[in-house]
Amino acid sequence: MAFDKMELRETEVWDGNFAAAQALRQAQVDVVAAYPITPSTPIVEGYAKFLADGYVEGEFVMVESEHAAMSGCIGAAAAGGRVATATSSQGFALMVETLYQASGMRLPIVLNVVNRALAAPLNVNGDHSDMYLGRDSGWIQLDSYSPQEAYDLNFIAFKVSEDHDVRLPCMVHQDGFMTSHTAQGVKTMDDDTAYGFIGDYKPMNDMLDFDHPVTHGVQTEEDWHFEHKSRQHNDLMTKVMPKVQAAFDDFEKLTGRKYNIVESYDMDDADVTVLCMGTSVETAREVAKEMRAKGIKAGVVGIRVFRPFPFEQIKEALKGVKAIATLDRSAPGGTVGALFNEIAGALYNTDDRALLSGYIYGLGGRDLTKAHLVDLYTELQANVDAGKVTTPLQQFIGVRGPKLSFL
């Protein structure tokens, strides 16, 4: 079956969902098994429309749940297909059991996760609860801050995930509604260029290669489980970073668009730094520039690769910083935020003894305003001036009622 190519303008106005759907079309994904859930539905809906209109030579499989969606993707990937899907929030939670299957079986599936709050109470707006839920599932996790990045990082995900030295599934995250439903200018690639960057899919250990029979989904128990999880899977995850960096470098040569494992902005001489993910990075960059005009040496660090966690790159990015605020967009449930915890771990054995404080923000889609960040940078500078953390270890930004803090 032949498929038609689509003529794109050099810059299109797309939201994050449509940008991701276009990337799946240009990657010529063989199978998308999906169950719709807000706010990710337009990604798989877009692929289905492209398929129906003859722009993709593939299969769209509508299933009865998100658990079944990932199960279908696992079967298709094990059979030797290029496979992708999308989900959010409760759907992601229902997939969790199968996420571990996909990574343990080393199936290069690409999952677009449009980040949304987890219930209860029910909420369809964006925060990072579902992203955090997946952090120990053995998947590579990439984070986009805009529709442009939702488009670009899908190509990075396919290239890294399908590398025969990697063969691990990969999530591409974007903020629900703030990215997924917000239209911006997106610089495109033509179909041949986009597909050429990824290349033809070359399956490995596929179940339909009858000349080389393989077994998927084996049982190991205590005799070999530890070795599979630590010596193979975890060790493999630690070797993903060079592959990601190589893909970023190749993509920059092709498009001129540069990505880093950890993104640093105004960090050359920064005294105070905000560290965050998603759309908050762009807001923090705006405020950092304004704070510098007021005499505060403010910087921003954005996490681009959330898993495997970039400990070494974080240490390098935060060298010489005097005070750091981590922004976690997920309810911690009686402890500190995940970013706070991991940044503390990354810096613990370094000579830098930056003052570290954590902030919870934006739950259920609550806005993070520039005024919030002005106050935050001002607090960080006060910590520097006092030579100690002058505020509670963890605070909540923008919550109504009396001020909340932890520790």
- Per DSSP, the residues of 35-64 read ---TTTHHHHHHHHHHHHTTS--SEEEE-S
Instruction: Provide the pLDDT confidence category of residue 316 given band limits of 50, 70 and 90.
Output: very high
pLDDT for the residue 231:
80
On the question of a cis peptide bond just before residue 120, with omega within 30 degrees of 0, the verdict is yes
**pLDDT tens string 104-156:** 999 999 999 999 999 999 999 999 999 999 999 999 999 999 999 999 999 99
Q: Are residues 209 and 191 in the same domain?
A: yes
Q: What pTM value is reported for the model?
A: 0.97
Q: Are residues 26 and 77 in the same domain?
A: yes
Q: Are residues 206 and 92 in the same domain?
A: yes
**pLDDT tens string 338-383:** 999 999 999 999 988 899 999 999 999 999 999 999 999 999 999 9
Q: Which of 255, 283, 300 is the last residue of a domain?
A: 255
Domain annotation covers residue 73: yes
Q: Are residues 213 and 314 in the same domain?
A: no
Domain annotation covers residue 308: yes
Q: Is 92 helix (H, G, I), strand (E, B) or coil?
A: helix
Domain annotation covers residue 3: no
Q: Are residues 38 and 185 in the same domain?
A: yes
Any idea what the CATH number is for the domain that residue 332 is in? 3.40.50.920
Q: Are residues 249 and 269 in the same domain?
A: no
Domain annotation covers residue 5: no
Any idea what the CATH number is for the domain that residue 71 is in? 3.40.50.970
Structural domains counted in the chain: 2
Out of 41-50, 226-235, 283-292, pick the least confident. 226-235
With a cut of 90, say whether residue 218 has pLDDT above it. Answer: no
Q: 325: domain range?
A: 263-406
Token match 């995250």: residue? 173
Q: Are residues 306 and 163 in the same domain?
A: no
Q: Which of 255, 279, 306 is the last residue of a domain?
A: 255
Domain annotation covers residue 165: yes
Q: Are residues 248 and 268 in the same domain?
A: no
β-sheet bridge partners, residue 31:
59, 83
Q: Are residues 134 and 175 in the same domain?
A: yes
Q: Is 130 helix (H, G, I), strand (E, B) or coil?
A: helix
Q: Are residues 388 and 267 in the same domain?
A: yes
Q: Which of 255, 284, 300 is the last residue of a domain?
A: 255
Q: Are residues 273 and 215 in the same domain?
A: no
